[in-house]
Amino acid sequence: MMENNEQIPEIKPEVLLEVVRMKMPYGKFRGLIICDLPISYLEWMLRKGGFPRGKLGFMLNTVYEIKLNGLEYLLEPLRGK
């Protein structure tokens, strides 16, 4: 549960644009656009030690949160840009 003084992190539009463009650089889903990764794979990564550090980890976590909360529709208008 979020405390009253705790801020919800702001997701910048450029981050959302990147998750619809950036490709997974390694693993079973190498070459697949990050936002198209199945949530089961993202959950597996979390169970196996979490997302990698840095930009890729941030992107994976962003997509995980979007999918977990049923917000994939937010990415649809960005796919063609």
Quick: pLDDT tens for 17-51.
Answer: 999 999 999 999 999 999 999 999 999 999 999 99
Whether this prediction's pTM lies above 0.85 is answered by: no
Q: Which residues of 26-62 are buried (b: 16+ CB within 10 A; e: fewer)?
A: eeeeeeebbbebeeebbeebeeeeebeeeeeeebbbb
pLDDT category of residue 77 using cuts at 50, 70 and 90: confident
